[in-house]
Chains A and B, each alone.
Chain A
């Protein structure tokens, strides 16, 4: 039970390395020494612009997005008592996508698209929660079914929007749907949110561990189950909505990262959740670096890379676990 510091310190070190690597690689390659010089305040003005103004914000956005998604996935898994749940499982990304695509269809761009995606994600959250909660009986299976069906509904609306949109808008929409960090905006709010949630998780962690063993068992051990489930749901939704509005719907990070970490570190949420923040962030930083360089100067949507990495990894894990 003790000894969280070592795994977390190693993961933090890996995260730092991934970020330095990501900042160094690009159209104008820098040596690690150059990058380090810039990060510590030296380097030429060109290098400074390149690193501090162009690459670092994007790298931090990737880190924050990946961390948010992985933590949200881990929380959803506890909420639904299902290790195969992901942050989008309740249709939140569908709501966000509909919000974003409507904004694009209306000719909006930038912050307005993000804001609209965020609003769509929250709408989706309340819709699913309200429907699943309807008669007062709220079970994980009911929540899951409601979420999956509502997600199918969002899917239909997304297809409809794509079908009626003018051809010149389609590439932007498809990029958004596959996840893209090039319009992420400032990473600061997301990083603050991520840090706050990791801080909150410590006092909540043991209750989450108990809840993972079932609602009745948790209640018998003194957990206020309904209140805790509400809190997890709201937190996970807020994290996912923030991530989706920054970078579109990026798949597999929220599913694969918590699952892999559970295989390695066990199922103590006090370790898993901060570990998810670090590992999810690192994974997306690496994926985004690949997305930038594979067919440079063109960029791939980062969601394609995470899916291409995530699908085989996940199938392998699933195959191994049976």
Chain B
């Protein structure tokens, strides 16, 4: 696969100083978590990495090619993005929605075949959605829609997954099964890069972390080096208690007052 790489990257958030430029490579097999408070620019970072927004400075490349010079179709065969917000102006079924994940792989002149539908159906099964495949997406619950979005990217089968809060709206069991699915993807040689709100899910499932401070400051590295209580308290502006479970740290907000 062609790893996604940020070189001297500054994301463009209006009215904010440049802060520190980003330099990292998302290698095959890695699971990255992006942590930061609301408004720190996590979504902007993901969209910039996906080439959907222009950076203020620096460059993103996919393998040896600058992302901006690649055709969108080529990019979408290697890079999948689960959005946090989705719009559905027109009604569509769950299966139809998952099936659009095949779009990058089909030429304009070809119809979707039974094979494509099989791929989409298998993705839906993996996300516990097989029974809902005929339902209209706008009649589903938030958590079910979240899983449909993930199933769509699973159908797309990119090497590098970018996910914006993939555990949003999910119940505990589905949070774990989605993170398990992403771990399997990483073991199969793909790369995962996701924004997360839940510090403990990140601590448990990610091997690399990127902390995004609201002032544009940023640091990244292997998870065990990043999970420093003082740094996390500064990140969220929230005092934390740390306990150890299964040999891994668990962070609990300190109750004040």
Contact, CB under 8 Å: B108 / A206: yes
Contact, CB under 8 Å: B106 / A206: yes
| Residue A24 at the chain B interface, CB threshold 8 Å | no
| Residue B190 at the chain A interface, CB threshold 8 Å | no
Contact, CB under 8 Å: A220 / B50: yes
| Residue B237 at the chain A interface, CB threshold 8 Å | no
Contact, CB under 8 Å: A222 / B100: no
Complex-state Cα separation, A202 to B111, whole angstroms = 10
Q: Which of A83, A203, A268 contacts B108 (CB 8 A)?
A: A203
Contact, CB under 8 Å: A222 / B91: no
B76: nearest chain-A partner, CB-CB: A222
Q: A207-B108, A213-B100, A219-B52 are in contact. Are A224 and B90 (CB under 8 A)?
A: no
A64: chain B residues at CB < 8 Å are none
- CB contacts between A and B, total, < 8 Å: 86
A220: nearest chain-B partner, CB-CB: B81
| Residue B205 at the chain A interface, CB threshold 8 Å | no
| Residue B198 at the chain A interface, CB threshold 8 Å | no
Which A residues have a C-beta under 8 Å from some C-beta of B? Answer: 1-2, 77, 81-83, 202-204, 206-207, 209-210, 212-214, 216-217, 219-224, 262, 266-268, 270
Q: A216-B52, A216-B83 are in contact. Are A221 and B89 (CB under 8 A)?
A: no
Contact, CB under 8 Å: B81 / A83: no
B90: nearest chain-A partner, CB-CB: A267
Q: Which of A82, A220, A223, A267 contacts B92 (CB 8 A)?
A: A267
Q: Secondary structure at chain B's binding surface: helix, strand, loop or mixed?
A: mixed
A220: chain B residues at CB < 8 Å are 50, 52, 76, 79-81, 83
B73 to chain A, nearest CB (A): 4
Complex-state Cα separation, A214 to B97, whole angstroms = 12
Contact, CB under 8 Å: B103 / A2: no
B79 to chain A, nearest CB (A): 8
Q: Size range of the interface on B? A: 35 or more
* Highest count of chain B CB atoms <10 Å: which of A82, A203, A209, A220: A220
* Highest count of chain B CB atoms <10 Å: which of A81, A204, A210, A216: A216
Q: Which of B75, B86, B87, B111 contacts A222 (CB 8 A)?
A: B75
Contact, CB under 8 Å: B86 / A214: yes
A-B contacts, 23 of them at CB < 8 A, read A81-B87, A83-B90, A203-B108, A204-B108, A206-B106, A207-B108, A210-B100, A212-B90, A213-B92, A214-B87, A216-B83, A217-B83, A217-B86, A219-B72, A220-B76, A220-B83, A221-B100, A221-B104, A221-B156, A222-B74, A222-B104, A223-B103, A266-B91
B4-42 vs A: 1/0 string, CB under 8 Å?
Answer: 000000000000000000000000000000000000000
A213: chain B residues at CB < 8 Å are 86-90, 92, 97, 100
A206: chain B residues at CB < 8 Å are 100, 103, 106, 108, 112
Complex-state Cα separation, A224 to B83, whole angstroms = 18
A225: nearest chain-B partner, CB-CB: B72
B111: chain A residues at CB < 8 Å are 1-2, 270
| Nearest 10 Cβ contacts at the A-B interface | A222-B76, A203-B108, A222-B73, A222-B104, A81-B89, A220-B81, A267-B90, A214-B87, A221-B103, A222-B72
| Residue B209 at the chain A interface, CB threshold 8 Å | no
B97: chain A residues at CB < 8 Å are 213
Complex-state Cα separation, A321 to B108, whole angstroms = 33
Q: Which of A2, A212, A219, A224 contacts B89 (CB 8 A)?
A: A212
Complex-state Cα separation, A262 to B92, whole angstroms = 10
Contact, CB under 8 Å: A82 / B89: yes
Complex-state Cα separation, A83 to B91, whole angstroms = 10
| Residue B101 at the chain A interface, CB threshold 8 Å | yes
B73: chain A residues at CB < 8 Å are 222
A204: chain B residues at CB < 8 Å are 108
A235 to chain B, nearest CB (A): 16
Contact, CB under 8 Å: A210 / B99: no
Within 8 A of A (CB), among B104-137: 104, 106, 108-109, 111-112, 117
B93: nearest chain-A partner, CB-CB: A266
| Residue B208 at the chain A interface, CB threshold 8 Å | no
A209: nearest chain-B partner, CB-CB: B100
| Residue B175 at the chain A interface, CB threshold 8 Å | no
A257 to chain B, nearest CB (A): 15
| Residue B77 at the chain A interface, CB threshold 8 Å | yes
A224: chain B residues at CB < 8 Å are 72
B120 to chain A, nearest CB (A): 10
B81: chain A residues at CB < 8 Å are 220
Contact, CB under 8 Å: B52 / A1: no
A223: chain B residues at CB < 8 Å are 72, 103
Q: A82-B89, A267-B91 are in contact. Are A222 and B108 (CB under 8 A)?
A: no
A1: chain B residues at CB < 8 Å are 96, 99, 111-112, 117
